[in-house]
Amino acid sequence: MRYPRYTPLALSALWALLLPLSLAAQTAMAAYPDAQIDAARRTAVVRAVERVQPAVVSVHVYHREAVVYRYRDPFRELFFPFSPYRYYRGEQDKMSGGSGLVVSADGHVLTNGHVIGDARRLRRIEVSLTDGRALPAAFKAADPLTDLAVLQLDAPDLPVAPLGRSGDILVGEWAIAIGNPFDLGPTVSIGVVSAVDRDFQEPQGDYYYRDMIQTDAAINPGNSGGPLVNALGEVIGVNSFIYTGGDYSYGSIGIGFAIPIDAARRFLSEVRVHGRVRQPWSGIAQLRDLTQRLVDYLELDSTDGALVVQVAVESPAYVADLQRGDVIVQINDEVVRSVDEAWGILRSLAVGSTCHLEVVRMGERRRVSFELQEQPRWF
């Protein structure tokens, strides 16, 4: 076999043609692993954070509080070194912080009620966005029962977070907490949804929490009011409080709770329509826990339930024939085991909703239904 002969000039031309192709191939092969790594880094969590974090804000609240100052006159101390201190009252500004979430293009910011504190002592509220803007905010409304509050910003081009639905939450799915813990600035932590529908029979601080989302994502002081987000980048809850041990002296131990976003939607709708949160009123004025002695006297099966002690005249419950001595065992098909649980369910209902009570009266079960009204000013 005869092989073709190439002149040096032909070989040079061939090498000049193949060299760029070879370099391009090497560059593509070198870039291919980098592209794979970059794609692997951009996980669903990263995309979810990019979608929501621009709408998360840091909230700084300034209150005016009373203080007591201690004073000793230096001139008097020269002659009377053991003279007692004098005390006088004064006032000073105190700053507290938390997180919030822009939920509408017209500047509504959702946060926790306890982040705002006593609205009567408010001096000013400042909100910091992730784009570096620091804006004044006006307090608009709060709900003392659900621990939610809304602020108002007056600024253009506000990013808005997408809100999900509480009914779509899956136990075990990713949960991302975004906020401003310890006033460090925008911070992200991740865990899973540990449980849903957590109810607390006793108030946590000043609030009754129901249907809470439990998560092990790190939540610390300052995260309150910030969003809990799923892997789709949808807000599913408002981070509110944590368990930190017996005396609450530690940070996060992986047990945090968020108000479900459906409850926040109802709160925001109430504020938009009425400009405030109307408090529901059933007319049930006083309830009492059952003791074993009462169980024996009323011929009941257990101490579960709440004994009706007083019903306001001409109230919804009174008109529906709820009577003193009735024992409430269910409210809207939810079992009632104690007075705190009964109040918690009743306070979670909205004005205009129907309340169905299952009661025991003289050994017989009865159903009492009525529509909740707005609480009268005199009540």
114 is catalytic: yes
Is residue 326 within 8 Å of residue 360, measured between CB atoms?
yes
Distance in angstroms (rounded) separating the CA atoms of residues 148 and 277 = 10
| Structural tokens at position 203 | 């108030």
Give the amino acid at 271: V
Residue 128 annotated to the active site = no
pTM score: 0.79
The answer to whether 286 and 306 are in contact (CB under 8 A) is no
Count CB neighbours of 52 within 10 A: 24
Cβ neighbourhood burial of 15 (10 Å; 0-12, 13-18, 19+): exposed
Q: From the candidates 58, 189, 194, 224, which is the catalytic residue? A: 224
The phi-psi region of residue 40 (left if phi > 0; otherwise alpha if psi is between -120 and 50; otherwise beta) is: alpha
73-124 pLDDT, tens digit per residue, is: 666 666 666 666 777 677 777 888 899 999 999 999 999 999 999 888 889 9
Q: Give me the catalytic one of 143, 147, 216, 326.
A: 147
Query: What 3-state class would DSSP assign to 254?
Result: coil
pLDDT along the chain (379 residues), means of 10: 56 59 63 70 91 96 81 65 70 87 95 92 93 94 91 94 92 96 92 91 72 93 95 96 65 84 93 90 94 89 93 94 95 91 88 94 92 84
Can you list the domains of the chain with their CATH numbers?
A: 55-153 (2.40.10.10), 166-274 (2.40.10.10), 280-374 (2.30.42.10)
Q: Which residue among 60, 63, 108, 114 is the active-site one?
A: 114
Question: In this predicted model, what pLDDT tens digit does every residue of 35-72 receive, in sequence order?
Answer: 777 777 888 999 999 999 999 999 999 988 777 777 66
Q: Is 22 considered catalytic here? A: no
